[in-house]
Amino acid sequence: MATEFETIVETLLVILTGTCIVQAILAGLLLRQMKRISESLGGAAPPRPRAPAPAAEPAPVRPVPSPEPGMREQPGAVPAPVPQVPSVEILEGSPDIQGSIHRLADKYDLSDFIIATLDGLVVVSLYPGSSDDAARFSDLYRRKRKADAPGVTFLEIAYQGESMLAIARSEVPIPAEQLKGIGEDARKILNWWL
């Protein structure tokens, strides 16, 4: 009876030791991932509203539209009129960065909008649970592939010396001028809240 009890205790100790080792490894991986996120965001402190920085020359926004197959611009063709973007205040009065992203999506009639690091970590998104889309689209963008979903457009945004990826989804093609506006507004949101 005593040897059976000792065997059970030894087995439980082995299991407990193994569990502790696994937890230590997972904790180390979590800390490493959190450090990478912090570094990719430039060591940003928790979000807090602040006054906008003085106007400086904006960093370039590189739209990467997904062209429709077989569609070419005809020489001498009259371009389609660009829809007017309503004037929407995206920063003042927003309760947080999420509110600003919702206002940006409303302003440009976007069905989804995500800002992520180039390695696929979500910085902010229109809807919760966008990490899978951010990872998938960031991977496609890094491999210089076009989006594998209809209506998705990529924009690279410079923020504090780092490149971020904006992923915009719309039911209709987004004109180049609106893409430029989306990129500029997204950069304003990042500068204001982060």
* Per-position pLDDT tens, the chain of length 194: 678 888 888 898 889 888 878 887 877 777 777 777 766 665 444 444 444 444 444 555 555 554 444 444 445 555 555 556 567 888 888 899 999 999 999 999 999 999 999 999 999 999 888 899 999 999 999 999 988 889 999 999 999 989 999 999 999 999 999 999 999 999 999 999 98
34 and 92 together in one domain: no
Q: Is residue 140 part of a domain?
A: yes
Q: Is residue 72 part of a domain?
A: no
Q: How far apart are CA 69 and CA 53, in angstroms?
A: 42
Q: Is residue 16 part of a domain?
A: yes
Q: Is residue 47 part of a domain?
A: no
Query: What's the domain count of the chain?
Result: 2
What was the pLDDT predicted at 72? 45
For residue 7, what are the domain limits? 1-38
Q: Which residues contact 162 (CB under 8 A, 6 or more apart)?
A: 40, 42, 117
Four-residue CA torsion sign, 143, 145, 150, 152? positive
What was the pLDDT predicted at 38? 62
22 and 113 together in one domain: no
113 and 184 together in one domain: yes
97 and 180 together in one domain: yes
Which tens digit of pLDDT belongs to each residue from 137-165? 999 999 999 888 899 999 999 999 899 99
Residues in the chain: 194
Task: Report the CATH number that the domain containing residue 180 is assigned in CATH.
Answer: 3.30.450.30
Q: Is residue 123 part of a domain?
A: yes
The burial of 79, by beta-carbon neighbours within 10 Å (0-12 exposed, 13-18 middle, 19 or more buried), is given as: exposed
What was the pLDDT predicted at 50? 44
What was the pLDDT predicted at 77? 52
Q: How far apart are CA 150 and CA 170, in angstroms?
A: 9
33 and 92 together in one domain: no
